[in-house]
A and B are shown apart, each in its own frame.
Chain A
Amino acid sequence: MLYFIVRRCVMLIPVLIGLTVVMFAIARLLPGDPVGLAAGPNATPEEIEALAREFGLDKPVWVQYANYAAGLLQGDLGTSLLTRRPVAADIAAYLPATLELVIAAMLFAVLIGIPLGLVTAVWRNRWPDYVSQVLAIGAISLPRFFLGLLLQLCFAMWLMWLPLGGRLPVIVIPPPSVTGFLTIDSLIAGDLETFGTALRHLAMPAIAMSLSPLATIMRMMRASTIEVMGQDYVMTARALGLPRNKIILKYVARNAVSATLTVIGLYFGWLLGGTVLVETVFDWPGLGLYATKAIISQDMMPVIGVALVIGLLFVAANLIIDLLYGVINPKVRYS
C-alpha cells in the first residue's frame, strides 16, 4: 500500500509541472495589460516599465518560468503583482477558511445523503422515496449562489436565527490559530461560545454548498443500494432468514458505499474550485474570492498558486478515497 501511495505522489509531479507550464502559456497568450493595470491609471510609461522590471516580467517567458520553477522548489509561489504580497502567505491565510467550508459542506452532504439514499432505496417507490427524489432534483438544479441568497433572506432576515455572513462577527477576536479552522481552534482554546458562533456562521454557506453534492450522493447511494440488494449474496442472506436490518446495514450499505465514495472524491474537488459564488454571497474570506480578484486583474502568480493548491488537494482527496475503498472493502488490492 505504501508503494501505491508513493507511486501516486510521484505521478503528481508531472501533473503539477504540466499545470505550471499551461498556466504560464495561458498568461503569455492572453491579451491584456496586467502590469499597466497594476501600475494604476496615472502611472507614466517609465513607472510601468519599472514595475515590469521589478517583477521580472520584461524577461522572455521561459526565463520567467525558470525563475518561477526555481522559487517553487523552495516553496515560493511568487509575488502578487497587484498587492505586492507573497502568494504563499496569502494562500496560507485564505485556504483554511475555504477548507473549513468545503469539509463542513461535504460532511453535511455525506452524513445526510448516505442514510437518506439507503432509506429511499429500501422504501423504494413509496412516499419517502418520492419526496426525497423531488427534493434532490430541486437541490441539484438550484444555483448555489441563489440558494445562498434565499437562505440569507429566510434565516438571517426573516427568522433572524443565523448571521448573514463572514466567519465570525467582526467584533469577536478569533481564537489563536492552530489549524486555521475557527470551529476547531475555538474548541482547542476551550472557548465554547466562540465555537457556537463560528458554527452558526458556518451553517448557511455550508448548507448552500452541500445541497448539490447531497442530492447526488443520495441518488448514487440509492441506485447502488438497489443494485446491491439484487445481488445473489443478499438473496442468500435473506433466504437464510437473517434479520432485514442486519442485512441492510452490514452487507448492503457497506458495498453500496464504495461506489458512492468516487462521487464524494470528485465532489470535493468540484466544491474546492466552485466556492467562489458562495464565498461572495456569504462574504467568506476564502481562496475563491482571492482567486477571482486575481483572475479579473490577470494577476497570474496568485492564479497559478491557487490552481496548484487546488490541484494538490484534489489529488489528495482522491488518494484518500482510494485508500478508503480498501478500508471498507478489504477485497480491494492496491497494485
Chain B
Amino acid sequence: MTPHTATGYSASFFMRNVYDPLVRVTGSPPEPVPALAESWSVSEDGMTYRFAINPSARFHSGSPVTPEDVIYSFKRALELAKGNSWMIRGIVTPEGISAPDAQTVEFSLAKPFAAFLQVLPWIFIVEKSAVEANLGEDMGQSWLLANTAGSGPFQVARSQVGTLYHLARAEEAWQAGGGNLDGVIWQIVRETATQRLMLQRGEAHVAVDLTSEDMESLEGAPGVVRVIEPEYRTFSIKMNTEHGPLQDINLRKAISHAVNYEAIRDSAGFAELMTGPLPTGILGHDPALDVPRMDLDKAREYMAKTDRPEGGFSLRMVHVSGLEQQRRWSLIMLDSLKQLGIDLEIQPLKWPDMVAACASPETFPDFFPVYQTANYGDPDNIAFAAYHSSRNGGWQNAVYNNPEVDALIEAGRAEIDPAKRAGIYGEFQRKVIEDAPDIFGVLELRKIGLRDSVENYEFTPVASNAVEAWPLSIG
C-alpha cells in the first residue's frame, strides 16, 4: 500500500487512516474540512490556494509536518504518475507549488479547477526525509510497501497482505478529538454472506460490502444498524455511438424508450433510477431532466426513422461473466429489444477482455454495461471520466465523443462560481441526454451494516466503503 501509487478500496482504507491529506471530506454532499491544513483561502480567480499547515501536525516519527513535505508529496505523485495523481495532472505543476513561509503552502494552479478541494483528500502527504532516505531504484515504492511515513491517526500494528490490516492509534496522534478507538482491524472477507453473519454475531462492527439480500435478512436483526444511502455510483449501459447500427441516433433513442427501466431497478435491489448522466444529489444535478422512460409508442416513432423500422437484425451485448446482476440486466435488454424486432446476442466476458474490447470502436460491442464510481465529490469526476472524448479507448468512455459536450465539461471544471457551474452541468446533462449515448440505469444504494455500539458514524457518498476510523467510537 504505497501512497501516490495505490488505488482500490483496501488501499483507500489504509491510506485514509495511516496518512493525512491536506483536507478531508465529510457528510453528504461531501464538504471539505481541515486535515493537515487547519485553514485555507482561495484567490478570487480560483487560481491560487493557500493552506496553513496545522502547527501541531506530526509524523509518526515525531517530526513536524512542514510545507516541504507537502510539496515533496505532490511532486512525487506527479512524477510517479500512478494511483490518484490523474486527479491533479495538468492542474498542479511542480513549479506551481511553493512555501511562502514555514507554515504555509501555496498552489498556483495551471488552470482553474473547481473541484480542487474535493480531490485533495486523495493526495496523501509523506515524510520527505523518511522517503528520501530509502529511495532505492523506484522512488521509495518498495520501501513504502513494508514501511510507512505518514502522520495519520493510526499506524500499522500488523499487516497480512490481502487478509487483514491491524492499525493501532499512533502513540502521539496529533489530531485533536475523534473517537475512542485504540485500534482498528480491517479484515478482507470475500463472501458477503460471511460478512453479514460476522456482523450478526458481533465479530465485526462494520461490514461495508453487503448485498440487497443481506440487507433484507438483516432487517430487525438485534444489535445491527443498517445504512442504506445513495452514493455517487452510476450504472448505465453504454452504446457504440461510433460503429455499427447504433451510430444512428434514432435507433439509440428508440431503444432508450423501449427499455423496461422498472425491471432494471427491481432487479438491482436497493436502487433508484438515474435521471440523467450525473448521480442524484451531486452539484449541478438537475432532477427535472427529461430522461427517457419506457414508452413503446415513442420507441416505434424513432424506430420508423431508421433504415430498418421493422427491426430484423441482431445487436451484441457483453457483460462481466459471473456477475448475476449484469446477467439479469442483459436479459431485460433482450426482452426490451424484442419489442422492436431486434435480437440481442448476449456474451459474458471476463473483465480484462471487456477492457480490451474498449480499445477501438470496431471492437466495442453494441451494448456495454458499466458501473462508474465518483472518486471525489464533484460532477467533474463522472462528467470527465464518462463523457469527455479524451477518455476514448478506455472503459469509462470507450467511444462517445461530442465536441460540444467536451466544451461544457471543460467549462464546468474551470468555472469557480457554484451557481454558474450548476448551469453548465445542467446544459451538459441535457446535451448528453439528447445524444442518447447511454441507457441510463440505476444508482445502487450503498449498503453498510453497523453494530449499534458504533458511534459517530457519518455516511459520505465518496469512498464510503473505505471507512475513516478516526471519528468513530465504540459505546
Contacts and interface: CB of A to CB of B under 8 A. Distances in A.
Nearest to A83: B161
A171 B186 CA distance: 11
Query: Which of under 10, 10 to 19, 20 to 34, or 35 or more describes the interface residues of A?
Result: 35 or more
Interface string B1-38: 00001010000000000000000000000000000000
B312 interface: no
Interface in A29-57: 31-34, 36-37, 39-47, 50
Interface stretch (B173-181, B188-196, B280-288, B444-452): B188-196
A242 B23 CA distance: 87
B359 interface: yes
Contacts of A298: 350, 352
A42 B395 CA distance: 9
B351 interface: yes
Contact of B194 (A33, A47, A281, A297): A281
Contacts of B395: 41
B133 interface: no
A83 B161 CA distance: 10
Contacts of B191: 280-281, 283
B81 A47 contact: yes
Contacts of B185: 170-171
Interface string B159-180: 0111110100000000000000
Given A33-B355, A164-B198, A165-B189, A43 B160 contact: no
Nearest to B86: A42
B203 interface: yes
A33 B363 CA distance: 13
B351 A296 contact: yes
A46 B393 CA distance: 13
A116 B385 CA distance: 62
Interface string B421-454: 0000000000000000000000000000000000
Nearest to B370: A41
B86 A285 contact: no
Nearest to B197: A164
10 contacts: A33-B359, A40-B7, A40-B82, A42-B396, A43-B394, A46-B81, A47-B81, A164-B197, A164-B203, A170-B164
Given A36-B394, A283-B190, A164 B161 contact: no
Interface of A: 31-34, 36-37, 39-47, 50, 83-85, 90, 93-94, 149, 152, 156-157, 160, 163-166, 169-171, 173, 280-283, 285, 289-290, 293, 296-298
A157 B141 contact: no
Contacts of B189: 165, 283
Query: Which of under 10, 10 to 19, 20 to 34, or 35 or more describes the interface residues of B?
Result: 35 or more
A47 B197 contact: no
Given A34-B352, A36-B394, A289 B190 contact: yes
Contacts of B160: 93, 285
B353 interface: yes
B145 interface: yes
Nearest to A284: B163
A152 B163 contact: no
A165 B165 CA distance: 16
B356 interface: yes
Shortest 7 CB-CB contacts between residues of A and residues of B: A32-B352, A33-B356, A42-B86, A285-B163, A298-B352, A32-B353, A170-B185
B86 A170 contact: no
B158 interface: yes
Interface in B373-420: 385, 393-396
A282 B161 contact: no
Nearest to A89: B161
Contacts of B83: 40
Contact of B161 (A93, A173, A296): A93
A152 B395 CA distance: 39
B92 to A, nearest CB: 15
Nearest to A42: B86
B194 A282 contact: yes
B352 A166 contact: no
